[in-house]
Chains A and B, each alone.
Chain A
Amino acid sequence: MKKTGRTMLAKIWDQHVIARLSEDTDLLHIDRHLLHDLGGSRGLLDLKSKGLKVHNPELTFATPDHAISTAHGRAGTSKIGQELLAALRVETTASGIAMFDVDQPGQGIVHVIGPELGLSLPGATIVCGDSHTCTHGGLGALAFGIGSSELTHVLATQALIQRRPKTLRARFEGKLPLGVTAKDMILALIGHIGAAGGTGHAVEYAGSAIRELPIEGRLTICNLSIELGAKIGMVAPDETTFEFLRGRPYAPQGALWEQAVKAWRELPSDPDAVFDREVVIDVTKIIPQVTWGISPEHVIGVDGRIPDPKAVDDPARRAAIETALDYMGLQGGAPIAGTPVDWVFIGSCTNSRLSDLRAAAEVARGRKVAAGVRAWVVPGSENVKREAVAEGLDKIFTDAGFEWREPGCSMCLAANGEVVAPGQRSVSTSNRNFVGRQGPRARTHLASPASAAASAIAGAIADVRMMGR
């Protein structure tokens, strides 16, 4: 009898099974555990209160990102943010955990530094107390977000009890049109299958358009997996992956590198692997995406019109649209482009890597942020910041009237007090347009870095394809 092909998920999963606990639940080894300032010290203190020690501090890494200010000199970090930073220093030191501290190379948003430092590797299991841990799947890792209790469990045991998810393959086929980015691809998929379309599944992104994407684009795609309900997203490792990782500080070197690459070549799903579900997206039809509502599934092409609740028969859907439009202060049926904006935020674990900043700078170069708009650029890490400065991107942004800031999560979730004021409208390269996400009653439109920069220049939601570059 012919053996059926295996998915990449199954291959990586099976390599990590310490013990089978039931038909579909296993105790999995965790290869990398990333801690941040919001939950890291809390977890370490929780462990201490239970009289336990960190099982494998050398597989655990910490950095502050959520609660620190992104102002120069970290001025404006709240008292509680400073306490969390201090506690992270004390508790990681006491446990022998490496911490990448503010102003040091290596500091940054956890999901930016993992890949950047070569901590995130193909075939590795990676967890973090943050739902956007799915990002690291862009390198072929099995990575997912966990809650506080699971975080403590990993600290104590370097293992986690997990139920095997179902599999969904999302194939992006065709050549991306000009002005359309990885962010637009994944937003289009979320619009297509909905914010719960991937619940209970691990998503594998495949197809010619994924193969063509550089790693940073793949990280952006995987980052938004959780916004379609899937806590795991992944892309098969290939030559692009290996070239990205070669020589990074924590990636294997020399003979070990050769050995690792050989193993990583075995990870992609077999050609005859069967997925529980399959979706195909024709990327040639995608245009730059922008959200209009309060869920990432509330998304349309930038040349489109805001849904009109009056045209919707289903009462539940109509009510949902009305609720969203009321919160967003928008008129159903109106074109989304041209909607005036107060804020533009370029940053977050979705879109704060060097290629994102280059794409935004390309649009901003030689232009000016519209009067009345505040526009921030928050690089994803200290290394991204330094590379961007070396290329002169900071100068392009500041000349255009953007504010150039220190690395961190900042206004993506406003945990550090950096907020969009009530009622104000923001175009953001982040991942969530939830009610109050960027501050109480703040109104968020998700878009790509290029679209966000174009909107900053126009002072309104703008189609970057009309910017003539």
Chain B
Amino acid sequence: MPKPFNTLTATAAPIMRSNIDTDVIIRIERLVGNSIRGTLGKWAFGSLRYLPDGSENPDFILNREPYRQAEILVTGPNFGCGSSREGAVWSLQEMGIRAVIGSGFGDIFFANCFQNGILPVVVDKVVVDSLAADIEATQGAGKVSIDLEAQTIVSPSGARHTFEIDPRRREGLLKGLDEVALTLQRDDEIRAFQASDRAARPWIHFARTPASRTSA
């Protein structure tokens, strides 16, 4: 069940390159296995964060103070595009990120954020650019505040921006709702749908067979 998200005032790091895909956020070999949760934080942005010899890349923003403490990322266009790997969100979460602010995100990454209590905020590119400029003007010392209830962002300069968010998803984050549990409360509706759909589209619904592995 995701942790509720309400307000956050934290260090924010601008990572403004376009099209940072989820492969760049977390490499696939870190995700091969069933016991990976809790191991991913140090591998987030691996190809940007570490040099080929494994040492930290001093040029990468999250390797610099105060950005190491960042809980908010301000991102370039199309952040989180590509692979559906939820490990991208897990790795950000495990390195302490709780919100991402950008002009647009990969659709699947965006959905995965909500599933984990991470707030993705979509605002106009001019707002993203001005936030990044305000943060850089304070060398990262100025905090960014997000209020999900009020749907506002306050930049280090004091500039206040509002943002839009799907009311359902907002409520889910505010309360830390568990979607599986909520949907299971509608199981009667699911079963009723299946019964009538079986009559309408019988080719979709297979008979349930005993547990076995099959070939075709």
A409 to chain B, nearest CB (A): 10
Q: Which listed segment binds B: A148-156, A173-181, A356-364, A366-374?
A: A148-156
A42 touches B34 (CB 8 A): yes
Q: Does A117 contact B (CB under 8 A)?
A: yes
B104 to chain A, nearest CB (A): 6
Q: Which listed segment binds B: A99-107, A207-215, A391-399?
A: A99-107
Contact with B along A139-152 (1 / 0, CB 8 A): 00000111111101
Q: Given A84-B34, A87-B34, A196–B207 Cβ distance below 8 Å? A: no
Q: Which of B18, B31, B208 contacts A96 (CB 8 A)?
A: B208
Contact with A along B25-36 (1 / 0, CB 8 A): 001110111100
60-113 of chain B: CB within 8 A of chain A: 77-78, 81-87, 89, 104-108, 111-112
Q: Given A131-B82, A229-B78, A259-B202, A105–B213 Cβ distance below 8 Å? A: no
Q: Which listed segment binds A: B145-153, B154-162, B190-198?
A: B190-198
Q: Does B141 contact A (CB under 8 A)?
A: no
Q: Which residues of A contact B197 (CB under 8 A)?
A: 29
Q: Which of A59, A92, A106 contacts B216 (CB 8 A)?
A: A106
A229 touches B111 (CB 8 A): no
B24 touches A434 (CB 8 A): yes
Q: Which residues of A contact B87 (CB under 8 A)?
A: 148
A25 touches B168 (CB 8 A): yes
Q: Given A89-B213, A437-B23, A226–B82 Cβ distance below 8 Å? A: yes
B75 to chain A, nearest CB (A): 12
B84 touches A131 (CB 8 A): yes
B48 to chain A, nearest CB (A): 8
Q: Does B19 contact A (CB under 8 A)?
A: yes
Q: Which residues of B contact A57 (CB under 8 A)?
A: 208, 211
Q: Chain B interface: which size bin? A: 35 or more
B47 touches A84 (CB 8 A): no
Query: Bound complex: CA of A294 vs CA of B18, how far in Å?
Result: 11
106-165 of chain B: CB within 8 A of chain A: 106-108, 111-112, 115-116
Query: Bound complex: CA of A87 vs CA of B32, how far in Å?
Result: 13
A147 touches B84 (CB 8 A): yes
A323 touches B17 (CB 8 A): yes
| Number of A-B pairs, beta carbon distance below 8 Å | 227
Contact with B along A248-276 (1 / 0, CB 8 A): 01111000110110010000000000000
Q: Chain A interface: which size bin? A: 35 or more
Q: Which of B21, B89, B186, B215 contacts A147 (CB 8 A)?
A: B89
Q: Which listed segment binds B: A157-165, A235-243, A341-349?
A: A157-165
Q: Which residues of B contact A195 (CB under 8 A)?
A: 19, 78, 81
A-B residue pairs, 10 tightest by C-beta: A149-B115, A252-B203, A147-B86, A96-B211, A147-B112, A196-B78, A148-B86, A145-B84, A104-B215, A131-B84
**13 extra A-B contacts, CB within 8 A, seeds A149-B86, A250-B206:** A18-B189, A29-B197, A52-B180, A58-B206, A96-B212, A99-B214, A106-B216, A121-B204, A144-B108, A195-B19, A199-B107, A415-B28, A436-B47
Chain A positions within 8 Å of B, measured between CB atoms, are 15, 18-19, 21-22, 24-25, 27, 29, 31, 38, 41-42, 45, 50, 52, 55-59, 66-67, 78, 80-81, 83-84, 87, 89, 92-101, 104-106, 117, 121, 123-124, 129-131, 144-150, 152-153, 156-159, 161, 163, 165, 195-196, 199-200, 226-227, 229-231, 249-252, 256-257, 259-260, 263, 294-295, 297, 316, 320, 323, 413-415, 417, 422, 432, 434-437, 440-441
A-B contact pairs, 7 of them (CB 8 A): A15-B201, A27-B186, A96-B211, A147-B108, A150-B112, A231-B108, A434-B24
